[in-house]
Structure 1
Amino acid sequence: MSVKDVSATKQRIIDAARTEFADHGLAGARIDRIATTARASKERLYAYYGDKESLFHAILDEDFGRFLDSVPFDSDDLPGYAVAVFDDLRRTPHIQRLMLWGQLQGQSARAQRLANANPRWDVRLEAIRRAQSAQIIGPTWDPTDVLTVIFGIVSSWVITPGSDGNIDIAPEELERRREIVRDAVRAIFQG
Structure 2
Amino acid sequence: MSGKDVSATKQRIIDAARAEFADHGLAGARIDRIATTAKASKERLYAYYGDKESLFHAILDEDFGRFLDSVAFDADDLPGYAVAVFDDLRRSPHVQRLMLWGQLQGQAARVRQQADANPQWEARLDAIRRAQSARVIEATWEPADVLAMIFGIVSCWVITPGSDGNVDLDPDVLETRRQIVRESVGKILGG
TM-score under structure 2 normalisation?
A: 0.98
Identify the residue that residue 107 of structure 2 maps to in structure 1. Answer: 107
Distance 1:99 1:132 in 2: 27
Displacement of 1:118: 1.7
Deviations 1:55-91 (A, max 9, x none): 1111111111111101010001000000000000010
Distance 1:135 1:166 in 2: 33
Identify the residue that residue 150 of structure 2 maps to in structure 1. Answer: 150
Distance 1:140 1:160 in 2: 28
Displacement of 1:133: 1.2
Displacement of 1:12: 0.5
Displacement of 1:177: 0.1
Identify the residue that residue 179 of structure 1 maps to in structure 2. Answer: 179
Matches within 5 A, 1:128-143: 128-143=128-143
Whether 2:161 is the aligned partner of 1:189: answer no
Displacement of 1:105: 0.7
AA paired with 1:170? Answer: D
Displacement of 1:117: 2.1
Whether 2:35 is the aligned partner of 1:28: answer no
Structure 1 runs (4+) greater than 6 angstroms displaced: none
* Count of aligned positions: 191
Matches within 5 A, 1:1-191: 1-190=1-190
Distance 1:103 1:136 in 2: 30
AA paired with 2:93? Answer: P
Displacement of 1:109: 1.0
AA paired with 1:47? Answer: A
3-state secondary structure, aligned to 1:155: helix
TM-score under structure 1 normalisation?
A: 0.98
User: What percentage of residue pairs aligned between the two structures are identical?
Assistant: 80
AA paired with 1:86? Answer: F
Query: Where does structure 1 lack aligned partners over 5 or more consecutive residues?
Result: none
Query: Where does structure 2 lack aligned partners over 5 or more consecutive residues?
Result: none
Distance 2:137 2:104 in 1: 31
